[in-house]
Structure formats: C-alpha cells, structure tokens
Structure 1
Amino acid sequence: MYRLTAAELNEMLHIRREPCVSIYLPVEKVGQDTRQGAIRLRKLIKASHEALRERGLRTPQAEQLLSPVQALVEDALFWEHQEQGLALFASQDSLKIHQLIEKCAESVTISDRFMVLPLLAESERDQAYYLLSLSLDGTRLYLGTRASLTECELAEPRSVKSVRDTYTLEKQLQHHGSSGSSGTVYHGSESAHDKDKLMVEEFLRQMSANLAGSLTLPDAPLVVACVDYLFPIFRSLCKDCRLQDTHISGSPDTLKKEVLTDKGWQIARPFFEQGKHQAIRSYGNLAGTGKTSIGIGNLLPLALQGRVDTLLLSRQPVWGRWDASSGAVLEIQEEQAQFGDPDLLSEAALLVLEHGGTVFLLHDDEMPVSDSCAGLLRF
C-alpha cells in the first residue's frame, strides 16, 4: 500500500517550487472495474498538461514532468491494488503516491506547493493507540489506528498459566468425612477458589508492571479489551496515565479483529480530539475580542503575515484565485473553474503550518461559525 509517512508529509509541507502538480481521483478496489481509475487518470493527465502549458511550461517540459504519472496508466498491477482514492504529487524531480481510504473528487491543482489538505484529514486515521487484548489464557498487545491493528511484542507473563507455573502451589486441601450411610467428601474448593483469584491478581499485577516496556509511543493512549470483571482490577493496578476509562466489553478471544479495530478506535478517538475541541471552545470564548477572524478573504492575508495561530477549516474546498504577494482573494468560484486552480483553504492551511500554527479540519456541524473557515490570532 502506498502511504506517505508523517515525516514525508511534513517534508512536502515545506516544498516550494514551481510547478507542483497535485492530482486527486477516486478509484476502485479489487473486484470492481479497476481500469476506471486508469481512464480517469488519463483524462486528468491531459488536463494537467494543458494547465501547465497555460502557465508557460513548454511541451517537452510538461511531458517530462508528467511521464512518471503517465507510466501508471499502463501499469495494470498498480490498479489492482487500490483503496478508495488516489493522490499523486508530481514535480520536476519526483512523484509521490498516496492511497486514500475514502473516496475523493477529481481535481488537479498546480501551484508552487503541493495541495496536501486532504492528506491532513486522512492523517487522523493514522493516529496510533495501543490495544491490550487482555485474556487469562493469552494476552496480546496491538498498535492500532482507525483502520488497522498490528500485533506488538509483549513481555511475559501473558497468561495466568505462566504465572502459576512459576509458583509452587500447595496441594489441594482435602477433608474426608461421612454422614449417615453416605459419605461426603470435602475438597477444599473455597481455598482453591481463593488461590485462583490470587493467581489472577498476581498475573494482572505483573502484566501491568511489565507493560510499560512495550508502550514505546509516549503519546499513544491505551485501550483494554476484556471481560467486565477484569477491568476494574487491572485499572487499580495499572499506573499508566494513558489508560482510558472505558474498555471494550467481552472476551477478546471471541471478538473478531474487525470488531476490536472499530471499538478500539471509538474509545481512543476522543483522546486525539482534545486539541480540536479545546480550539473550538477557545474560539467561542474569544469571539468578538479582536483575537479571532472569519472567512477566507480575511484569513488568507493574515495567514500570509503569520498572524494565525489556529485555523478551523471546513472539509469542502473553496476554489478561487488569490494574490500570493498580498494574500488578497481575487475570486471565489462555486467549483473549480479549470483544472489547475487552487483551493484557497489549502493555501491558507499551508501558510499557517509554515508559520508554526495548527490546522483542524472540521465537519460542518462542528464549525463554530457559518463559514468555511475561522481562525484564532496571535496578534
């Protein structure tokens, strides 16, 4: 799977060269009509070529820049291993490919930087958390994202049996007695029950003590999947502040991996959204004080000046034209008038990130204003 890493994405944010071609298109997964993606890309390559020519690039230069993209059209194997969307970033010296998990609209943007705003939205899916599949018979540790679980190394003990094997257990107490004509045998079952309970607690104590060595990502929350009675015991023993207050209820031995992935993300997600919700609250508290601004026409010049600390954006693009020297918006279009025109929200987001600010992509019902963008200002 072609996925840009966080480091590669950060590197792309700082690329400034002319021209940078960003191509987005929906594609089909395996089992569907996979060649439709190649047909769409051929059309978008033609549109990119025309847009490059309009910007003064000679035909041989445009063909050379787009030749690695053109090669993908004829690569049948490439199209058989796709997700829902595809992003291609071409410049004179490189082609970067990123597969999108969700569908996207067709677009071509040509600028002095790559249009990576949709990738910032997708990066939410790559936020990592730990999932501890806590079972008395065999515990596993996973590194999870919104869409996947990958098993990690986990130190012993991973089961109650491994703890029990390290201890010398007393022989089961037996008390034989008789009453009347029938004999009643007492096997000390209460004592055995107590021993089992102590073994479970000792297993959980050792597990929680050794777990820290496996949780190597310092900012990743910890989610637990286990039967209900185990969780309060484990929570009382685990001192890791990243442990989430709720757990996935049920035996992880019987829960499908897809269920663990989905439920694990639902518990971990609020942890990652704390910054977003704090920014929305801050905007509400500061609105009307001169420390906020609304609308792309106001925010693009402010972003160019480095005055925007936090930018709240709608996920829908705002196509148009702007003056890169002043930040003034020259035209706003209801849709991309021609391939190559920029998304003004992406331009503002890149400027904010370039100046060390923060960008949050929000759904329409999360936006604190009835506009496509709002910002918290530094000064």
Structure 2
Amino acid sequence: DGYCVSLYMPTIKLGAETQQNPIRFKNLMREAEEQLIKSGLRAQDARDLLQPAQEIDNYEFWQHQSDGLAIFISKNVFSYYCLPLNFAELVVVNDRFHLKPLLSLLTGDGQFYILALSQNQVRLFQGTRYSVNEIELENVPQNLAEALKYDTADKQLQFHTGTPQGGGGDRAAIFHGHGAGNDEEKDNILQYFRQVNEGLQELLKNQQAPLVLAGVEYLFSIYKEANTYPHLLDEGVTGNPEELKPEELHSLAWKIVQPEFEQAQQTAVERYQELAGTGQTSNNINEIVPMAYYKLIDTLFVAVGVQQWGYFTPDENQVELHQQKEIGDEDLMDFAAIHTLLNGGTVYAVEPEAVPDNTLLAAVFRY
C-alpha cells in the first residue's frame, strides 16, 4: 500500500544493440525489487507489485522503442511511455511517482496551444516540443453556421477559405451572401470568433502557454480583435488547417514557438541575475524546498539527471539532506519542481550547466 515505483532507462531503437534494452531493464527491475524490500515490503509482495512490468519484457516490445522508456508502477497504476528523451538509468521507490526526468516535456521547454480555425470546424491542440494532443472543446461553436444559427441553404451563404491560387499561396477568404456587404460579413465572423474566444476562457484561464492560430491569413486580424487571451502570438500557421494532420500543424507551430521559449528562458535567467542579492532569489535547497511547498516560487531552474536525496518536514519547516538515498528519502529537487508547477510557477528543467550560479537549483520568489 502506498509504494510507487518510477523507472527510467535509455533505449536503443535500431540494430543489434537493441539486445541491450532487456538486459538493462532486468537490472533495473532487480534494483526496484531490492528497494521495495528495503522499504518494508515482503519479497513476494514486491515481485507481485512489479509483475505487470515484467509482462512487457518480450522481443516485440524492445523492437519498437524511442530514445527512452519511463515506467510507473503502484498498486493501482501501471503505465509506460516510450519517449524521445535519452534518460539516465534511475529507479525511485517512494510514496509518489518521481517526475523530474519528464519535466522538459511539460514545462518551459515547450507547452503551447494551437487553435485551428476554419469555416467547418474549430479545433484546439495542446503541444509540447515532442507531442501534440487534441483537446475536447465544450461551450465552443463548432463552425460559423452554428455560431450564427444560420440555415446556410436558405441564406445561400458560402464561406471559402484556403482556396489555392497561382504560386502555391492561399487566397484571402471570400464570402458570398445575398444582401450582405463586406462589413456585415466581417461582423459575422467577428461574432463567431468572440464566441470561440469566450468558450476558451475557462480552459485557458491562468495559463501562460503561447497560443498559435492556424487558418487562412485573412482571419488572423479578425480573431485578434475578438481575442482576450494575453499569450496569443502574432505569427500563425497560414493555410486551411482542415488540410493538415495534427502532426503537420504541430511541426509548423513548433517553428513559431521555439524562439519564444528560448527567449522566455533567457529573460528568466536575466531576471534572476538582476534580483540576486535582494532576498528574492536563492540557490540554497534548504530555502527553496519550503518556499516551493508554501507556494512562494515564481520561477525555478532545476538540473536534470541529478538528484538530491532527503526529506522535508512541513510541521517543523525542516529540510534534511543525505549524501546517499536512505529509506523514506525523495529527490528534493523533484519535490521543489512539482510543488512549483502545481502552484502555478514556471519550471525550467535544464542541463546542470544551464542553471544560474552553476548550482543544481535556483529560484526567483514571488515576493
């Protein structure tokens, strides 16, 4: 009860060297069993807990890998993820899952949104540097006709977007409607986009991730007039998004947001350096861990690939550090990062040399 096993390992995708994958896996599973037993679990119970993971260990599984494998096991959870991250080997047994190796997928390294707008549909995607997933939308009109409650047949309204023209470009949207001038048509689209924007407000509330529009260029300025989300980017993916697969939208949008993320991280580093010595920054884990727990960290830089074992006692506001992992310990860098994220802060999971002050942790406090 309460044991959570997190296992990370690098994997080899092709060639004869893929045979190293099951060998590495077996060694880490043995280490996981030993850690469970040291933590107080009987040997047979430890083996039973790990059994679901043992069942994936077959030839076919190891032939379909990415750069790294993450496995999470508890009494009620068994999940594994083949990911484009070259993990260092790591096994952590604790009362919660160890997530720091995944943070570059989830944090300042690249979470963003893509809003694909066309006459026939509205789609919202959440992306990271490596992945894209469509988000199910509620309280958002699915198309122009629904938004305006038009009977398109009676109104003889046509709304063409992304019509090819010579030179491979997209022609500006063209509208045909009986008795409607351009101003009226624009007003209709603006009304449509205001409903879309309003429907997205609850979903995007308190978010800081960039939002990229995808659609014919004519629509961008109209949507920007309706938009109230403060992190909408000026540049968008031009063309008819109905003709693009999610993976294609993701690739085009990432090219737009990548410089934003690089600039945001550089700006955060400069802010840390400007505030150094004012009491609003720290690179001391004994200070940072409690501040993360009490929701007081605005920005945290944390080194990936290294751990600082120990534990935090909230009642006594005390941090205990250990050179080697002891029973009951957790990675306090992981602790600080997860609490910062859960409390609305920004986390940059970076290589150790990219942490300000050449330390493993560096934080900017909220005040």
Above 0.5 in TM-score?
yes
Residue of structure 2 aligned with 1:360, choices 338, 347, 352: 347
Q: Which of 213, 223, 236 is residue 212 of structure 2 equivalent to?
A: 223
TM-score normalized by the length of structure 1: 0.64
**Residues 232, 56 of structure 1: alpha-carbon distance in 2 compared, 3 angstrom cutoff:** closer
Contact 1:293/1:376 (8 A) holds in 2: yes
- Are 1:34 and 1:79, in contact at CA under 8 Å, matched by a contact in 2? yes
Partners of 1:89 and 1:255 in 2: CA distance: 34
Are 1:105 and 2:94 an aligned pair? Answer: no
Distance 2:305 2:156 in 1: 67
Q: 1:85 aligns with which of 56, 68, 72?
A: 68
2:364 is the alignment partner of 1:376? yes
Deviation track 1:156-204 (CA, whole Å, cap 9, x = no partner) reads 3399xx89755479xxxxxxxxxxxxxxxxxxxxx99x97856863553
Contact 1:131 1:264 in 2 (8 A): no
- What per-residue deviation string (whole Å, max 9, x for no partner) do you get for residues 91-125 of structure 1? 4x233314153222221123344312123332248
Structure 1 CA distance, aligned partners of 2:279 and 2:194?
A: 50
User: 1:346 maps to what in 2?
Assistant: 334
Structure 2: unaligned runs, 5 residues or longer? 158-175
Q: Given residue 186 of structure 2, which amino acid in structure 1 is its aligned partner?
A: E
Structure 1 unpaired stretches of 5+: 1-15, 170-190
Provide the secondary structure at the position in 2 that maps to 1:312: strand
Verify the 8 A CA contact 1:69 1:95 in the aligned structure 2: no
Output the CA distance in 2 between the equivalents of 1:68 and 1:317: 26
Q: CA deviation at 1:279?
A: 5.7
**For 1:350 and 1:212, how far apart are their aligned partners in 2?**
30
Q: Does structure 2 retain, via aligned residues, the 8 Å contact 1:68–1:95?
A: no
Query: In the alignment, which residue of structure 1 is the partner of 2:247?
Result: 258
2:53 maps to what in 1? 69
Q: Which residue of 2 aligns with 1:245?
A: 234
- Residue in structure 1 matched with residue 143 of structure 2 by the alignment: 155
- CA distance, structure 1, for counterparts of residue 219 and residue 337 of structure 2: 45
Tell me the alpha carbon deviations over residues 205-258 of structure 1, each in whole angstroms, 9 at most, x when there is no partner.
35324424653623366532234444334534x244454322223454665643
Given the superposition, is the C-alpha separation of residues 201 and 303 from structure 1 closer, same or farther in structure 2, using an over 3 Å criterion?
closer
Aligned ranges 1:136-285 → 2 under 5 Å: 138=120, 140-146=122-128, 147-148=131-132, 150=134, 154-157=142-145, 165-167=153-155, 197=182, 201=186, 204-212=189-197, 215=200, 217-219=203-205, 222-236=211-225, 238-241=226-229, 243-252=232-241, 257-267=246-256, 280=269, 282-285=271-274
- Per-residue deviation, 1:23: 0.7
Report SS of the residue matched to 2:115.
strand
Following TM superposition, by how much is the alpha carbon of 1:38 offset from its aligned partner in structure 2, in angstroms?
A: 3.9
Structure 1 Cα separation of the partners of residues 198 and 18 of structure 2: 44
Aligned equivalents of 2:289, 2:243: Cα separation in 1: 56
In the TM superposition, what is the alpha-carbon distance from 1:370 to its structure 2 partner? Answer: 2.1
Letter in 1 for 2:204: P
CA root-mean-square deviation = 4.9
- Secondary structure, aligned partner of 2:203: coil
The CA distance in 1 between the partners of 2:95 and 2:133, in whole Å, is 37
Percent identity for Structure 1 against Structure 2: 29
> Structure 2 counterpart of 1:122, which letter?
L
More displaced, 314-323 or 270-279?
A: 270-279
Q: What one-letter code is carried by the residue in structure 2 that aligns with 1:90?
A: I
The normalised TM-score by structure 2 is: 0.66
Residue 363 of structure 1: how far off its partner (Å): 3.0
* Alignment check: 8 A CA contact 1:163 1:203 kept: no
Aligned mates of 1:196, 1:82 — CA distance in 2: 56
Shift of 1:24: 0.8
Partner of 1:312: 300
Q: 1:158 to 1:259 in 2, by over 3 A?
A: farther
Residue 275 (structure 2) aligns with: 286
Q: 1:314-341: per-residue Cα shift (whole Å, max 9, x none)? A: 3423245446565243427xxxx99x99
Matches within 5 A, 1:325-344: 326-331=318-323, 343-344=331-332
Cα distance in 1 for residues equivalent to 2:245 and 2:106 = 25
For 2:319, what is the secondary structure of its paired residue? coil
Separation in structure 1 between the aligned mates of residue 42 and residue 125 of structure 2, nearest angstrom: 48
Contact 1:20/1:111, CA 8 A, preserved across alignment: yes
